[in-house]
Structure 1
Amino acid sequence: MSARLNRARGDHSWHRLFWWTLSALAACASDVSHAQSAVTLYGIIDTGVEYVTNVGPHKSSSVHMPSLTASLPSLWGLRGKEDLGGGLSAVFVLESGFAPAQGSLNQGGRLFGRQAYVGLASQWGTVTLGRQYSQIFWAALTGDTLAPNIYAAADLDPYLTQPRVDNSITYTFTSSGLTAAATYSFGRDAVDSAPAGGCAGQSPTDWRACKAMSAMLKYDSGKWGVAAAFDRNYGGGGTGSPLPLSSQTDTRALIDGYVKFGTATFGAGFQHRINHGEQTPTVFDATSNYWWLGGSYFPRPDIALDAQFGHITVSSNDSGGSVIAARAMYFFSKSTAVYVTAGHVFNQRNANFSIDGGVIPPTSTPLAGVDQTGAMVGIRHLF
């Protein structure tokens, strides 16, 4: 009898707790319903057919569909903001990259590999946590008039179009066209393979391993703009990684800008890089200087013409190169456009830069010292 009574009392207490919890959730839901919130679904589908010369040891030609980027990378995402009152808002972004030709995920197969963060925003700035872009990405956009087009000066340093870090915290402050921001990652990657630049993520035993930091200062008036950024990755990826040891670093400093004249925009940039990791089996501690200039012109509201040139010099063994790229695009509407684009890379004796920024290396990589040409016809739709 005593056991049954105690069990009955326990069941009664559990039911009271259950209904109290439901009531609390209902009250919270009622409060949330009065807050102003919005969630936006957005995306890009962009693909086509490309032709690339001098691929691999046999210098063969390839006709294929790209998987990483076309005129823009294909993606879909959710962006949300909730007004919490008193000038405070909750914000989040979940963004997924995919290959339209296969329907598969990019960024190492991550569901939200492009961005995944949540944070708070106020008049004093925004603090966000999660997987986010390095600040050098936002700075490089200021003066780059063509990338992430499949052929662009950024083929000489693809990092600038995709520098994301896991386990990161970011602070951003914007006022009257001026933006200051900084990002710190406790472990920049734990998904990509070591050869692809992946790291071991957050390390409980090595405070430097796989850390990353970046900062940006930018001014944008709408007619002209300028940006500067600093980006540093710490090693610790182990054997096969470009930065095997946590004592090794890869550091970039960038400055760029743009100016508009009517329907024409001109942009230029310069980056200095010091890489203490392994560049190739025989080249260490490489220092490089990379610069580009380009322009975009609208002869009519529905036609855009873009061109760009970039050059990189590496401190050792004739490992630099140049890229020239162009694109013509016709807009059926604000959402849908068709285009044709082409590019050519000039490799120095020991360089093997690929013109094909639309696939994961080494799929289209040429032999060292061999030039390469690419051309593509494509279509894109924004929603």
Structure 2
Amino acid sequence: MQKYVMSALALGLVSAVAQAQSSVTVYGVADAGLVLERGGAAGNLQNISSGVGSGSRIGFKGKEDLGGGMSAGFVLENGYTIDTGAAGQGGLLFGRQAYVCLSGKAGAVSMGRQYMPYYKALRDVADPFVTGFAGNAQNLFFPSTRVDNSVEYITPRYNGFSADVMYGFGETAGDSAKNRSIGGSASYDNGPLSLVLAHHQRDNALATAHTRYTMLAGRYRIDGVTGHAAYSRNQDLLGVTSRDALLGVSVAAGAGKFLASYIDHRDDSAAHQRSRQAAIGYLHPLSVRTDLYTAYGRILNRNGANFHVGTATDTGTGTTGFNLGVRHVF
């Protein structure tokens, strides 16, 4: 009799868990393309690359309704290289994202490995290439993307205004400033206009110096044309400051879309290094989930600057890059 009671209780528990779990979704991106690079120190390079426009990935996300306007959720996202099958992000199991979240009327709090507010502003507002292809703004702008051991709070949106703050624990005994990350953004998004002011700072391993990046980015839509602009002031660990400026556009052309951008990077060192990137691209949808793409980017380095044309997942080796490939979203 006891076995039957325990079985009934177990079935009831499983049923309750199944009902409480609102949704679990498996999703991903499969992206592969031909990448031609010119101007590298070791010579020209041709390869089939993964994650040219968007990093190839497989992810799991879920959301549970807790009642009273509260919900719990999670994201576990693995990056992989479709050309070889190897794991991305240095072999991390969930190297793209891994976090748990509680959200409600007062906003959302999440903990784990997450995208920094500065990166989200660059990707979602500033860059017409959405930090992908040969036009990736991170070829010249601040290249970091994620913060480990982080806590993030995103406010509700009110009349188009919202804020996003993040703290990344350095997890070093005796000094909480060592390896610490602090970031945030304030944004306005209403109708055709989007504006965001973002900042990110990271202390070094000794807490004796830090990098610092502050960016103002904007986007404006008029029918099928979207204009993009951004300006960033930066400081590296040696205290050298630099400036990045971006102008870009995306234009609907039938079912497809043309992309173009120009980026100017200047530093204030004694050498006055300077790099300029110009890029164009075209996306042609074959369906809602699949598109063909092509892109071309070129960087001119001056006075010892050494930037390369990369893609969404590759930093690149040359000063000229050409992409041609296919991307499927599932």
Does the 8 Å CA contact 1:143/1:226 hold for their aligned counterparts? no
Where does residue 129 of structure 1 map in the other structure? 111
Does the 8 Å CA contact 1:44/1:74 hold for their aligned counterparts? yes
Q: Distance in 2 between matches of 1:131 and 1:117?
A: 6
Q: Distance in 2 between matches of 1:20 and 1:307?
A: 67
The offset of 1:48, in angstroms, is: 0.7
Q: Distance in 2 between matches of 1:102 and 1:171?
A: 37
Where does residue 291 of structure 1 map in the other structure? 245
Give the partner amino acid of 1:257: G
Give the partner amino acid of 2:220: V
Where does residue 25 of structure 2 map in the other structure? 40
Q: Judging changes above 3 Å, is the alpha-carbon distance between structure 1 residues 306 and 22 closer, same or farther for their aligned structure 2 residues?
A: same
Residue among 225, 228, 241 paired with 1:267: 228
Residue among 241, 257, 261 paired with 1:308: 261
Q: Distance in 2 between matches of 1:311 and 1:22?
A: 67
Q: Distance in 2 between matches of 1:102 and 1:151?
A: 21
Aligned residues: 325
* CA deviation profile, 1:319-341 (whole Å, cap 9, x unmatched): 22000011012111111111111
Does the 8 Å CA contact 2:154/2:163 hold for their aligned counterparts? yes
Q: Unaligned regions of 5+ residues in structure 2, if any? A: none
Residue among 122, 125, 130 paired with 1:147: 130
Give the partner amino acid of 2:262: F
Where does residue 116 of structure 1 map in the other structure? 98
Give the partner amino acid of 1:306: L
Residue among 184, 187, 195 paired with 1:218: 187
The offset of 1:377, in angstroms, is: 0.9
Question: Any idea what SS the aligned residue of 1:328 has?
Answer: strand
TM-score by length of structure 2 reads 0.92
The offset of 1:142, in angstroms, is: 1.3
Question: Any idea what SS the aligned residue of 2:179 has?
Answer: coil
The offset of 1:45, in angstroms, is: 1.0
Give the partner amino acid of 1:133: Y
The offset of 1:21, in angstroms, is: 9.1
Q: Percent identity?
A: 29
Question: Any idea what SS the aligned residue of 2:184 has?
Answer: strand
Give the partner amino acid of 1:147: V
Does the 8 Å CA contact 2:53/2:311 hold for their aligned counterparts? no
The offset of 1:91, in angstroms, is: 1.0
Whether 2:141 is the aligned partner of 1:157: answer yes
Q: Unaligned regions of 5+ residues in structure 1, if any? A: 1-15, 188-201, 237-244, 278-283, 367-371
TM-score by length of structure 1 reads 0.80
Where does residue 343 of structure 1 map in the other structure? 297
The offset of 1:158, in angstroms, is: 5.1
Where does residue 83 of structure 2 map in the other structure? 101
* CA deviation profile, 1:78-134 (whole Å, cap 9, x unmatched): 111100111110111111111111111111211111110012111111111111111
Question: Any idea what SS the aligned residue of 2:44 has?
Answer: strand
* CA deviation profile, 1:126-146 (whole Å, cap 9, x unmatched): 111111111111222212211
CA RMSD of aligned residues (A): 2.2
- Name which of structure 1's ranges 19-28 and 266-275 shifts more when overlaid on structure 2: 19-28
Where does residue 320 of structure 1 map in the other structure? 274
Where does residue 203 of structure 1 map in the other structure? 172
Q: Distance in 2 between matches of 1:99 and 1:148?
A: 17
Question: Any idea what SS the aligned residue of 2:20 has?
Answer: coil
The offset of 1:376, in angstroms, is: 1.4
Does the 8 Å CA contact 2:55/2:313 hold for their aligned counterparts? no
Q: Distance in 2 between matches of 1:24 and 1:92?
A: 27
Q: Distance in 1 between matches of 2:273 and 2:211?
A: 17
Q: Distance in 1 between matches of 2:6 and 2:96?
A: 36
Whether 2:308 is the aligned partner of 1:354: answer yes
Matches within 5 A, 1:176-255: 176=158, 177-187=160-170, 202-236=171-205, 245-255=206-216
Question: Any idea what SS the aligned residue of 1:207 has?
Answer: coil
| Rg larger for | 1
* CA deviation profile, 1:208-240 (whole Å, cap 9, x unmatched): 11110111111212411101111110110xxxx
The offset of 1:33, in angstroms, is: 3.4
Give the partner amino acid of 1:65: I
